[in-house]
Amino acid sequence: MKGFKNVKAYIKGKGIITTDIAVENGVIKAVGNNLDVTEPFPYADGQIVVSGFIDEHIHGAAGSDAMDGTKDALFTIADALVKEGTTAFCATTMTQSPENIARALENVNTCIKEQKSGAKILGAHLEGPFISEKHIGAQPLKYLKDPDALLYKEFSDASGNNIRLITLAPEERGAKALIKAAVHNGTTVSAGHTDAGAIQIEEAIKDGLTCITHTYNAMRPLHHREIGTVGAAMLYDELYTEIICDLIHVSAPAVKMLIKNKPKDKIILITDAMRAKGLKDGISELGGQTVIVKNGEARLQSGALAGSVLKMNDAVKNMVLKCGVRFTDAIDFATINPANNLGLKGYGKIETGYVADFTVLDGEFNVCATIVNGKTEYKA
């Protein structure tokens, strides 16, 4: 039987323990001692086994982007992500023409059916076009649209009903109907690229909003007379909060403040990475816009941040070493929390009956091996 034999592993509820993990047919069959593991996965002393990372917000990597709309592009991203310990992800779109978005979503549906290697494509994260002009970020302005439940339905149909997450501006006209339609369809709704105040966020929560997209970035900031989207993210415990922990998009003190004010099961690490991730510094592209990558920063020619080149294992590392988070909490931020936000059953922790997705880390947070569905997809 496949699995791990006598390894250090993070088992939620028990901490880091020495154990065996048995795997059968891509599922964890048992966790305990003296298990019949005869085909061990890669592991060495000094390493630790954790559940595989889930990146719910990533646009691209290794020169490819989800908006390219080709199987080669999406499979390239999937194969690149296992090198950073990510075992599952949402292919994230951006504000573009409805035709280009639909084409990218159709490709996600195709790739889910045909995928044979790499990190699992869970579905799509529809980021835009239903966002605010005031907080456009690196999204192309000319393609913005008011929230439209009918257009969302067209997008959902194009994806094969595989839109896992949608980012929108809840204060915009039509958002209420769209939020309700998305929730009814099983899509998690997140507020992002938004000028919503606290009352508008509160109303959106009643309609089904459950998440804040890349907290702090591209949203109304905290003010003492109107706490804005940022303040609402911290005020309402029920909201999940994404965070890009590259310490470029958000400073370490800002990350610490979020952690101090949120329940630990509501913080989600994302990379929001674009196609330049994994490549050398230089000129790249995002939605037809020129991006300059230098010293780990990806910016438009205007100077606006254009996503990141962050790797998920580095996000975990930054949380622990730069923001003072416990290792096990940081792992939860990258595993069980996004799984719960997306409504994924059987993902995000090492437990009997859960999918056999594992990441093996060394003491420096380097990825030593990545196992997806009980198959070794990467070995350093």
> Is there a contact between 126 and 176 (Cβ–Cβ < 8 Å)?
no
**3-state SS assignment for residue 1:** coil
Name the H helices within 166-287: 175-184, 198-207, 228-235, 252-261
Rounded Cα gap, residues 366 and 197, in angstroms: 40
DSSP-derived letter for residue 285 is E
Which residues does 84 contact at the CB level (< 8 Å), separation at least 6? Answer: 53, 311, 312, 313, 314, 367
Which residues does 312 contact at the CB level (< 8 Å), separation at least 6? Answer: 53, 55, 81, 84, 85, 86, 269, 271, 334
Of the listed 68, 195, 272, 332, which one is catalytic?
272
195 annotated active-site: no
> Is there a contact between 130 and 178 (Cβ–Cβ < 8 Å)?
yes
DSSP output for 85-138: TEEEEEEE--S--HHHHHHHHHHHHHHHHH--SSSEEEEEEEE-SS--GGG-TT
Annotated active-site positions, please? 272
